[in-house]
Amino acid sequence: MLSLLFLNPPNEFHEPVGRDLIYGCWCHGKRVADMQLPPLHLLYLATILRELGGHRVRVLDALVQNLSLSAIAEQAKAFDAMVIHTSNTTFRYDLKVLAAVKAAKPGTISILTGPHPTVYPELVMQEGIVDLAVQGEAEDTLLELFGKLAGGDGLADVAGLVWRDRGKVVSNPRRPLRPNLDEWPFPDRSLVDSSLYYNPHSRRSPFTTALTSRGCVARCIFCTSPPFYHGKFRQRSAANVLAELKTLRDQGFREVLFRDESFTENRKRLRAICSGLIEQDLDLTWIANSRVGVLDEEDLRLMKRAGCFYLWVGVESGSQPVLDRLRKGITVEETREMFRMANKMGINIHAHLMFGNPGETKEDILQSIRFLMEIEPAAVDIGITTPFPGTPLFEQVKAKNPQIGDGSELQIDQVHNIAFFSRHYCELDEEFLENALLLAYRRFYLRPAYVLRYLRRIRSLRQLLNVVRAGFNLLLYLFRDRRN
């Protein structure tokens, strides 16, 4: 048996970061109203290594606790190995965390998982303080790895592992994805303090997150999920999902945020889950992601009866040519219809948009802003399009300018706030994009009619406090000193 620490590192900017899922595309700070979610994939890993591997585990969320490097290093001394998810936007600071731990206890085995070691395993292993890395989904690889380490066995046949053999970096063959997600235990939420997390859209407390599928059927050129999961989309069964939701209800949770890329993709499964929630009277409210063009009014009506009150939707643009270049697989009219239906049913929608897309013009961005006012989402977040390693958009940029390297020059505080190599696919300059971002936010949120409409939706003191906190953080973002 080994003692294993699963660490969610802090960041040097002392702001919340949404790094709860392993495949990346993480956001940070005031732009997302200081949202902070439990590190769900670390909870999966820790639970599986404890229940199926028999190891002693701890999840340390140093991000939500805002721990110093010295505090992390001191707590890490008690463990044989430490696992961190890392992406290109956090990699450089994550190395500082590893260095602090190694300085306090040189024998600690350091393991990196996530999008960066998946795309650039050899580069990651060039860092001497990184002992091992995992490509792709980490559960089964770590389960086998720690079994080998505990037994003193060799690592040559651990699929998905990147290691050193007499100083030479070796990338073992990639591990096939586990086809049946029902086989894994539910993540143990008691491994973290659920009261520390914050969702500005939440209605009830305590809330938690859940993941009922992995991957996405879409092939958007900017998203890391499809390449991370080999382009495959896997789902847990409705019965398995309902069993977890009942467990969460019995543990005292009142609300669930589903972190699937598209919780609603399989409508037959969606209806089975909704019907089960109603029939079993689980009394959970919930939020989920959905793709445009999937749902009809009957679906939305059933979802609302089952406790759904909020959806997150990737709108991206109000220009059809821009959507086509992004390979979104949706139309502007389908987006318009989805918002019409949801508003009719009384389900709020959070719209995500991007500026600085391939081939985008000033008129396209102005069209998106007008479209945003037309469809009337409950909330928006808008970011400057970012090329992430492993995506078609990143490869397009790298072919034109190899100086982008592994993308780790982009730090987490800059993600979606600055134009990062966008000149290679968008002719709009950095200053215009950053100004357009703030213009859109201000036009949308600072309308008296919007503020009044939103205040009318408040039904509890908790909602009021969430709105005040989110609004304050948004104002800090809108009127921040952009020189810093």
CA–CA separation, 101 and 446 (whole Å): 45
**Among the three residues 171, 191, 224, which one is the final residue of a domain in this structure?**
171
- 304-331 burial, b for 16+ CB within 10 Å, e for fewer? eebbbbbbbbbbbbbbeebbebbebebe
314 is a domain residue: yes
Contact 28, 11 (CB under 8 A): yes
- For residue 311, the cross-strand partners are 288, 349
- Domain shared by 206 and 165, yes or no: no
What pLDDT does 19 receive?
84
166 is a domain residue: yes
pLDDT tens track for 124-171: 999 999 999 999 999 999 999 999 999 989 999 999 999 999 999 999
Res 482 pLDDT > 70 = no
- For residue 379, the cross-strand partners are 350
379 is a domain residue: yes
What pLDDT does 317 receive?
97
- Domain shared by 278 and 153, yes or no: no
- Domain shared by 142 and 251, yes or no: no
Closest CA to 424 of 368, 367, 386, 382: 386
- Domain shared by 221 and 161, yes or no: no
- Domain shared by 321 and 447, yes or no: yes
- Domain shared by 164 and 208, yes or no: no
Closest CA to 148 of 99, 111, 181: 111
Tally of structural domains, the chain? 2
pLDDT tens track for 364-407: 999 999 999 999 999 999 999 999 999 999 999 999 999 999 99
- Domain shared by 84 and 222, yes or no: no
Percent of the chain whose pLDDT exceeds 90? 80
Domain of residue 91, residue span: 3-171
417 is a domain residue: no
User: What CATH number is associated with residue 209?
Assistant: 3.80.30.20
321 is a domain residue: yes
419 is a domain residue: no
CA–CA separation, 284 and 59 (whole Å): 26
What pLDDT does 452 receive?
84
- Domain shared by 318 and 462, yes or no: yes
- Domain shared by 121 and 211, yes or no: no
**What beta strand segments (E) does 2-120 contain?**
3-8, 56-61, 81-85, 109-113
What pLDDT does 25 receive?
66
- Domain shared by 311 and 259, yes or no: yes
484 is a domain residue: no
- Domain shared by 341 and 435, yes or no: yes
296 is a domain residue: yes
User: What CATH number is associated with residue 44?
Assistant: 3.40.50.280
Please report the sign of the dihedral spanned by the C-alpha atoms of residue 396, residue 399, residue 400, residue 402. positive
- Domain shared by 372 and 241, yes or no: yes
